[in-house]
Amino acid sequence: MILDFLTSTFMMLTPVLIYFISVYLVDKEKSVGIGFAYLAIVVAVRFFRSFFDAHCGYTFLLLGSDISNSLALWMINKALSCSVLCNKRFKMGELANLLQVDCARLLLFPKNFSSVIFFFYQIVFAIVFMSLIIGPSFLAGFAVTIAAGCLNVFFSRFAAKYQRNLSIDTDNRMKISNEIFNNVKFIKVNAWEEYFYDKLEAKRDEELGWVKKKFLVESAFTFSMWLAPKMILVATFATFVLTTGE
């Protein structure tokens, strides 16, 4: 948590340095010593930001791996304590899906949790800094930020919905696959290969349909995340130019 705080702090020092460097470049009486001092500060900030960001990511990855592996081992021990064939609640396909998908998501939980905590810290700093530099014009960029956030929430809900449906279809496909493997001799004796192949292929097509929808929504979400910073800058400086005439 401390490493993430330091990473966020050094990241937010970047726009402050840009402001002071811009003021220095506009000044007619430039001092070479101050210029080299700014250069050294920029290099130091970039170095420490990269350093703390790398260590923060490494620490969170280790913590997420410990959480994910602990849950996976607990599920395996729980599954081995009773026969899967006698378990009417969870089938082998559902257990495999939990191990492969849900446990893997816990790898990103520490990083995402920390990002949510420091999100408000970064937002407050950005609002205060922008209001001091360009005045009320920052409200246009803030409005674009709110609109982009609402759009991303909209995309996230659809992505979560498609992920739930994908998990359900994956479980159904795994159930059919287990039925085929458990009764492969009976299926071959009765020449039912084509029937079960078509049945499995139909479930696979349903699963791929949800995969396609999920990736389309995630692509739109990624495009929105990429476009939002550009739109914020355009809205902010366009409002500043129109209101001040500078």
Q: What confidence tens digit (pLDDT) does each residue in 11-20 have?
A: 777 878 887 8
Here the tokens at position 67 are 């959480």
Quote the pLDDT of residue 177: 80
Q: Is the pLDDT of residue 212 over 80?
A: yes
- pLDDT value of position 1: 66
What is the widest separation between alpha-carbon atoms in the chain?
A: 93
Query: What distances in angstroms separate CA 118 from CA 40, 123, 138, 227, one per listed residue?
Result: 27, 9, 21, 22
Other beta carbons within 10 angstroms of residue 168's beta carbon come to 15
pLDDT given for residue 45 in this prediction = 84
Q: Is pLDDT above 70 for 91?
A: no
Q: What is the pLDDT of residue 32?
A: 78
What mean pLDDT is reported for the chain? 79
Share of the chain above pLDDT 90, in %: 0
Q: Report yes or no: 113 and 4 within 8 Å, Cβ to Cβ.
A: no
Of the candidates 110, 115, 141, the one whose C-alpha atom is nearest the C-alpha of residue 15 is 141
Residue 88, pLDDT score = 58
227 token code pair: 């476009």
Residue 96 has what pLDDT?
63
For residue range 52-68, what is the model confidence (pLDDT) as tens digits?
A: 888 888 888 888 888 87
| 45 closest CA partner among 18, 23, 22, 27 | 18
Residue type, 138: F
User: DSSP state, 87?
Assistant: -
For 227-236, give one letter per residue: b (16+ CB within 10 A) or e: ebeeebeebb
Q: Say if residue 119's pLDDT is above 80.
A: no
Reported as a single tens digit per residue, the pLDDT across 138-190 is 788 888 888 888 888 888 888 888 888 887 888 788 778 877 777 778 777 77
Compute the distance between CA of residue 137 and CA of residue 245 in angstroms, rounded to an integer: 12
Which residues does 111 contact at the CB level (< 8 Å), separation at least 6? 57, 60, 61, 64
φ, ψ of residue 93 in degrees (nearest 5): -65, -40
Q: Which of 91-105, 132-146, 215-229 has the highest mean pLDDT?
A: 215-229
Range name among 94-103, 114-123, 226-235 with the lowest pLDDT average:
94-103
Q: Give residue 90's pLDDT.
A: 57
Give the integer Cα–Cα distance in Å for 156 and 162: 10
Question: How far apart, in whole angstroms, are the C-alpha atoms of residue 2 and residue 172?
Answer: 44
What is the per-residue pLDDT for 82? Answer: 65
Q: What is the pLDDT of residue 98?
A: 64
Residue 69's pLDDT band (cuts 50, 70, 90): confident
